[in-house]
Amino acid sequence: KDLKIGEMERITVDYVKGILLPTSTCEIWDQIWNFEAKPDDLLIATYPKAGTTWTQEIVDLMQNKGDVDKSRRAPIYERIPFIELVIPAIQCGLEQANEMPSPRTLKTHLPIELLPPSFLEKNCKIIYVARNAKDNMVSYYHFHRMNKGLPDPGTWNEFFEKFLAGKVCWGSWYDHVKGWWEAKDKHQILYLFYEDMKKDPKREIQKVAEFIGSNLHDEVLDKIVHHTTFDVMKQNPMTNYTLISTAVMDHSISPFMRKGAVGDWKNYFTVAQNERYDEDYKKNMANTSLTFHFQF
């Protein structure tokens, strides 16, 4: 906890079934794969930086009937365990989950083919959130810069190449969003989009309420909308990750709550990169009905 910036090494990474993951996760892969979900578990699944924390806070507030004080009981990563996260000697998502009383809400970034099978076997409810690839990439780049829990991203140009090749932690964005999209009608999966949440948060929050069977008055929904706006969450230490040691996350490099916008990619993609990406996107998304908004 008292470590200073620079005193902590960046993590190393490895592969599980062709997907790049932190080595600490790979090392306990058998345990993760054999995780025993319970039928009343609610899982929030995302590609990293697609709006996980936002969705977690919405769900937690909903479960507490909009009681903001209850949602301030602990940082978001303690309220909702991140099942495949292992920070040796500090945090283990599996242990957190196993110690938690039911009904549990859990978080994962795993692509569906790496999801522990018990979640689908037990027919758990799953909320998946997807974000357009370009904003997702920019957000992930900045998160790598400030977070020692991910490899060094190199320059923007270098990261762009790695992202395009799917050689980043949790694998290819394409495979992730498409894999979950294809599964959504066969299981209890609510598939949401970051862009829709930005555009009409109340409508999307209502979808979540309906999905998890939470019957809340309109005023409570309005309260949840307010408390989960970017500006409010950015100021809230229980959601903005500032309680994590600065040796791990250095918000002076880039804050966790960075911009929270749609279309920020335009400030990073060069014209050439944009053309290349569009080309690659067309190829990879040709076989799916899934579509995204890249701007409003």
Q: Measured from the CB atom, is 96 or 147 closer to ligand A3P? A: 147
* Residue 145 contacts ligand A3P per CB under 6 A: no
Q: Of residues 200-229, which lie at the interface with ligand A3P (CB under 6 A)?
A: 228-229
Q: Which two tokens stand for residue 165?
A: 């090749």
* Residue 142 contacts ligand A3P per CB under 6 A: yes
* Residue 260 contacts ligand A3P per CB under 6 A: yes
* Residue 75 contacts ligand A3P per CB under 6 A: no
* Residue 52 contacts ligand A3P per CB under 6 A: yes
H-type alpha helices, 100-183? 118-121, 133-146, 156-164, 173-183
Decide if 37 contacts 125 (C-beta within 8 A). no
Give the binding range for ligand A3P (CB under 6 A) out of 16-24, 52-60, 120-128, 156-164.
52-60
Q: Measured from the CB atom, is 162 or 198 closer to ligand A3P? A: 198
Closest of 24, 115, 167, 224 to residue 216, by C-alpha: 224
Read out DSSP for 215-258? ---HHHHHHHHHHTSHHHHHH-TTTSSTTS-TTTB-TTTS-SS-
Dist. CA 69–CA 1, nearest whole Å: 26
Least distance to ligand A3P, CB of residue 49, Å: 4
State the burial class of residue 17 (Cβ atoms within 10 Å of its Cβ: 0-12, 13-18, 19+): exposed
* Residue 65 contacts ligand A3P per CB under 6 A: no
Q: Measured from the CB atom, is 58 or 115 closer to ligand A3P? A: 58
Decide if 130 contacts 294 (C-beta within 8 A). no
Q: At how many degrees (to 10) do helices 156-164 and 133-146 cross? A: 130
Give the binding range for ligand A3P (CB under 6 A) out of 21-29, 77-85, 156-164, 253-261.
253-261
Give the binding range for ligand A3P (CB under 6 A) out of 23-31, 180-188, 209-217, 256-264.
256-264
For the question of residue 109 being annotated catalytic, the response is: yes
* Residue 263 contacts ligand A3P per CB under 6 A: no
- In three-state secondary structure terms, 173 is helix
Looking at 22, 25, 26, 49, which residue binds ligand A3P (CB under 6 A)?
49
* Residue 51 contacts ligand A3P per CB under 6 A: yes
Dist. CA 203–CA 225, nearest whole Å: 10
Looking at 25, 46, 96, 273, which residue binds ligand A3P (CB under 6 A)?
46
Burial letters 203-221, b for 16+ CB under 10 A, else e: ebbbbbbebbebebeeebb
Q: Give catalytic residue positions.
A: 109
| Site for ligand A3P, rule CB under 6 A | 46, 48-54, 135, 139, 142, 228-230, 233, 257-260, 264
